[in-house]
Amino acid sequence: MRTLIVIPAVAALLAACSTVEDRGPQGIMAPGDPAKAVMASVETVVTTDPEVDADDPAFWADPRDPSRAVMFGTDKSDGLYVHNLDGTVRQFLPSGPVNNVDLRTGFSVAGREQVLVAASNDAPGANGVNLYLFDPATLTTTDYGFLSTPYEPYGFCMGRRDGTFFLVVTTKAGKVYQMTVAAGPAGPVIGAPRVLTLGSQLEGCVVNDAADTLYVGEEDVGFWRFDFDPAGPTAPTEIARVDRIRIKDDVEGLTILRDRGVEYLIVSSQGDSTYPVFRIEGDQHVYVGRFAIVDGPTIDGVTQTDGLDAFSGPIGRFPEGALAFHDHEDAPNPGQQNFKMVDWRDVRTALGL
């Protein structure tokens, strides 16, 4: 029998290592349905902060000139970045620990059409939702107000139906709060919440305005669909569960991309750094495969994605749509996180869509 002698320093190191989560093989190496490899075309670069705590992106492009485009990206420690589509920083708003971000166009304030941008903020003792106005004429973002909430907001998305704008907040307690937001004479006016319930911690969500539906991710379980009509039924419909074949917990970001008359729901399977894709066919959601983002010649791959976003149609250098993904570690920069942008055509080709 061999005797193992462990000195205290080594014992402490081994104890620390034993608490590190083993996520297993990631990306194209993950067990389950094989993920197809794609590469990122652009990544964001922040030169003023070596430890950006990135989380969630949101695209905007001018429909009259899609080369005029930006991507909003949250920093869970410091605030909201506005990036050009080459990845450089256009603007930074020091809003504190904002987590998820979304936007809707066509929000009229004092007779001027603006883009309403909002982000959940979980600052201890001061949590809520930050609201911003993005001016499509000047490409400038300004603070528009703050909605304080009696609960800790976690995930966030926005929706629009019949000309009314909505904020949607998800929580770790399994609650979803859906509220109207309108422009008042002294700032935003928030309506009373409609409350929806699931069984455990939530985060990612996305509203399909055209179909009047809301998708919500329950991190350890799967993702669900709700009727988005405030007067509609509140029961959830199950879409897909964590099965460790297509989806490995945690379920994180959700987004929708429209291409050639087809809608695709794209999910962040954070547990194995893959992205399952479902074709939306009315009430049916047909799984069509999944992909992972691997190292390219100059841009590293993506792991442990929280938030993601899709833009349907031309935006910046992407003529048929783009996707943006949070990357947990931007190699070769330990401690730095960022966002990667992927050409939708590359995903479409990889999955044979």
The pLDDT score that the predictor gives to residue 23 is 79
DSSP alpha helix (H) spans, 173-287: none
- The dihedral region occupied by 326, where left means phi > 0, alpha psi between -120 and 50, and beta the remainder, is beta
φ, ψ (nearest 5 deg) of residue 152: -80, 115
List, for residues 176-227, the tens digit of each pLDDT value: 999 999 999 999 999 999 999 999 999 999 999 999 999 999 999 999 999 9
Mean pLDDT, residues 42-69: 97
Mean pLDDT, residues 103-108: 98
Confidence of residue 8 (pLDDT cuts 50, 70, 90): very low
Mean pLDDT, residues 215-243: 98
The pLDDT score that the predictor gives to residue 6 is 35
The pLDDT score that the predictor gives to residue 4 is 35
Mean pLDDT of the chain: 94
Half-sphere exposure of 207 (CA within 13 A, CB side): 25
Question: What is the spatial distance between Cα 345 and Cα 207, in angstroms, rounded to a whole number?
Answer: 23
The pLDDT score that the predictor gives to residue 100 is 98
List, for residues 91-101, the tens digit of each pLDDT value: 999 999 999 99
The pLDDT score that the predictor gives to residue 22 is 65
Q: Is the pLDDT of residue 12 over 70?
A: no
DSSP, res 299: S
Q: Is the pLDDT of residue 34 over 70?
A: yes
Mean pLDDT, residues 295-305: 97
Q: Is the pLDDT of residue 37 over 70?
A: yes
Question: What is the spatial distance between Cα 266 and Cα 38, in angstroms, rounded to a whole number?
Answer: 15
Q: Cβ contacts of residue 353 below 8 Å, gap of 6+? A: 259, 262, 264, 277, 288, 347
Confidence of residue 3 (pLDDT cuts 50, 70, 90): very low
The pLDDT score that the predictor gives to residue 21 is 57
Percent over 70 (pLDDT), the chain:
94
Mean pLDDT, residues 264-269: 98
